[in-house]
Every structure is written in C-alpha cells, then in structure tokens.
Amino acid sequence: AQSVSQHNHHVILSEAASLELGCNYSYGGTVNLFWYVQYPGQHLQLLLKYFSGDPLVKGIKGFEAEFIKSKFSFNLRKPSVQWSDTAEYFCAVAQGGKLIFGQGTELSVKP
C-alpha cells in the first residue's frame, strides 16, 4: 500500500532562511502529488500540486516543489521564508481516488 514519509517533524528557521521539506512516497506508477498547508487555527489549503508535465511545480506564496520520479520524492522549497509561513505542511499522494497524507512537518519561523 502507498505510504508517505515526511522526515522532518519540526523545523525552526529564522526569517529569510531557505526552506526545504522532504517528502517521499513508497509506491511507483502514476501518482499525483500535493502539498497542503495548515496555518494556525485555519483549515488545510492547497499550496501546489503535480499531475504531469514539468516536474518543477510552482505554487502560491513563493513555494515550489520538484518531483523526482527516480527518488520517489516531492520536496517542498522556498528560497526565503517569512514569519507568516509558520504553519504545518502536509505532503499527500493521490492513488486510487484517495489522498494519502504524510504526518506533517511543523515549521516555525522566528522573526
């Protein structure tokens, strides 16, 4: 069965630092990949998604992610984080009509 691993449980950065959050999935074949964000007290919202085409995907708020099929990875990046990026980030894989989530990475950005 498909599973998703997010290796970083809690990341603490200073403003303007670069961010990379890891995401690996276990099962190959055709996959659709997502990153969702949950700001404190708010609902889950989509940051970006990959379905096909260019493996470098750009999302909202300056985030991007790169799909590397050979590594089963879909890491999230941002060149310069802001305090307002403090949130929990979830990687998800769609397979068989279902979204399978990783356990999330909590990002704390210090002003």
Partner 1 sequence: ETGVTQTPRHLVMGMTNKKSLKCEQHLGHNAMYWYKQSAKKPLELMFVYNFKEQTENNSVPSRFSPECPNSSHLFLHLHTLQPEDSALYLCASSQEIMGPGVPYEQYFGPGTRLTVT
Binding site for partner 1 (CB under 8 A): 4, 9, 30, 32, 34, 36, 42-46, 49, 51-52, 90, 92, 94, 97-104
Grouping H, G, I as helix, E, B as strand and the rest as coil, residue 85 is helix
The nearest distance, CB 111 to partner 1, in angstroms, is 26
Which residue, 49 or 77, has its beta carbon nearer to partner 1? 49
Which residue, 97 or 111, has its beta carbon nearer to partner 1? 97
Residues 6+ apart with CB under 8 A from 15: 80, 81, 82, 83, 109, 110, 111
Is 55 within 8 Å of 4 (Cβ atoms)? no
The nearest distance, CB 49 to partner 1, in angstroms, is 7
Residue 4 has what DSSP assignment? E
Which residue, 36 or 74, has its beta carbon nearer to partner 1? 36
Which is it for strands 10-14 and 105-110: parallel, antiparallel or unpaired?
parallel
Give the residues across from 13 on adjacent strands. 109
The nearest distance, CB 80 to partner 1, in angstroms, is 26
Which residue, 54 or 111, has its beta carbon nearer to partner 1? 54
